[in-house]
Each structure stands twice: as C-alpha cells, then as structure tokens.
Amino acid sequence: MNVLVIGANGQVGQHVIDQLKDRNHKTTAMVRKQEQVDKMKQLGADEVIVADLEGDFSKAFQGQEAVIFTAGSGGATGADKTLTVDLWGAIKSFKYAEHAAVKQFVQLSSIGAGDPDAQPDKIKHYMVAKAVSDQMLMTTALNYTIVRPGPLTNDPATGLIAKAETFTDVGDRSISRADVATVLIESLTNEAVRRQAFEILEGDKQLADALSES
C-alpha cells in the first residue's frame, strides 16, 4: 500500500516512518523543511515531499492509497498555529484525500478530544481543534480511524495496550510514542477499527488483539 505520512518529522511521525520500512508498504514522508529530507530517507522513507500544511499540499496525495496524519503545531506555538495546522491543515487533508480517492485515513488525535469542555483551560483550544478535526473527518466518505492516545512517553515499545471508546480514569497511565506509531500502522489494515474513534493507553493486551476487540 502507498502510504503518505503527514507530519513525518514529528516524534510519533518518525516512529511511523521507521516502522513502516519493515512493512509491506511504500512510504512517502511529508515534511515542512528541506533540511528534514535526509533524515526521512535515513529512517526508511521511500519518497519525501516538502510541503506546508498552511499552504497547498494537494500534490502529496497523488498516487497515495492511505494517509497517516500525525502533524501538530507543537507546544511551543500559540493558538493561531493550532488553528491553522492541527485543525485547518487536517481538514484540507481530508478534502485532498477524498479527491485523490484515498482508501484509508488514520488520524492521530488526543485522549480527551471527545469532550473538550472537560479539559483544563490551558489546553482547551488544542482539544477543541482536535475535537472539531475528528468530527469533520467523521462526516467524510473516507474509511477513517481516529486514534486518541493518552500522555506520551519516549519509553521503548511494549506491544501491550488498553483500548476504550473513552477511559473514565486515566490516572498516571501513559503510552509510548513507539506503541502509538504501531497502532496507527495497524489501523491501516485492521477492519475492526474502520470508522472508529478510540482512546489508547499502556495496558496488558497484545496490541493487535486489543484493536480487534469490539
């Protein structure tokens, strides 16, 4: 499958590119800066496209069968970038994907995006952007999967997760970026998570088994 990874230079995106090189997929990494191209090739990307989510990046979708959207403006930017990148950039991606007849769209969201009003004020703008983006994706004709991980760590992958529509108690649980990347990749071909949005945390179930549960 030809897979476009948007936000490939992000922390989760790099794990996605690295893991995809060992799968039966051809990967295109989309990055914002020319100086990021060599890193993507070293990680294993078959092709790299330099494009900006705040501009026209429709060319990146040509010949693609699936999209993994991991892009985000990052914690160091203001609410304006959250709107133009996390929200509007994602919505443009849906439109481009539909026009290109993409078969599967996997979106990295965030735990709590199902209920932004329940989130702390300091991150509410971010959660609203994620929630609206998720809801817009759900209205498209795309075969989507929306993955909402809890707090992210750089711990090694365990291959063990917990999955729920909504967790009632997160506590101090988290999940590694490497495991999140694996969930995103597995969602490309797992029919059980088609047109679903769900939250994930570290857990005790094998990743593939957890995803396949209703």
Q: What is the pLDDT along the chain (214 residues), one digit of tens a residue?
A: 999 999 999 999 999 999 999 998 999 999 999 999 999 999 999 999 999 999 999 999 999 999 999 998 765 567 788 898 889 999 999 999 999 999 999 999 999 999 999 988 888 989 999 999 999 999 999 999 999 999 999 999 999 999 999 999 888 999 999 999 999 999 999 999 999 999 999 999 999 999 998 6
Give the model's pLDDT for residue 79: 77
β-partners of residue 197 are 146
User: Which residue is catalytic, options 61, 96, 105, 126?
Assistant: 126
Scan for tokens 């078959």, then name that residue: 46
Are 30 and 49 a contacting pair, CB within 8 Å? yes
Quote the Cα angle for 82-184-106, to 5°: 60
172 - beta bridge partners? none
For residue 140, give Cα distances in angstroms to 26, 69, 85, 144, 177. Answer: 25, 15, 19, 9, 27
Residues in a beta bridge with 31: 50
Q: Domain 2-212 is classified in which CATH homologous superfamily?
A: NAD(P)-binding Rossmann-like Domain (3.40.50.720)
**pLDDT per position as a tens digit, 149-194:** 999 999 999 999 999 999 998 889 999 999 999 999 999 999 999 9
Task: Judge whether 25 and 3 are in contact, CB under 8 Å.
Answer: yes
Q: Are 106 and 184 in contact (CB under 8 A)?
A: yes
Angle, helices 177-186/11-20, rounded to nearest 10 degrees:
50
- pTM comes to 0.95
Calpha distance 202→144 (Å, rounded): 23
* pLDDT above 90 coverage of the chain, percent: 86
Phi, psi (5° rounding) for residue 23? -110, 170
What CA dihedral angle connects 7, 12, 14 and 17, to 10 degrees? -90
pLDDT at 77: 62
Query: What does the pLDDT read at residue 75?
Result: 54
Residue with tokens 């999140």: 180
For residues 80 and 92, give the distance between their C-alpha atoms in angstroms, rounded to a whole number: 16
Domain ranges of the chain: 2-212
Active-site residue flag, 96: no
pLDDT at position 80: 81
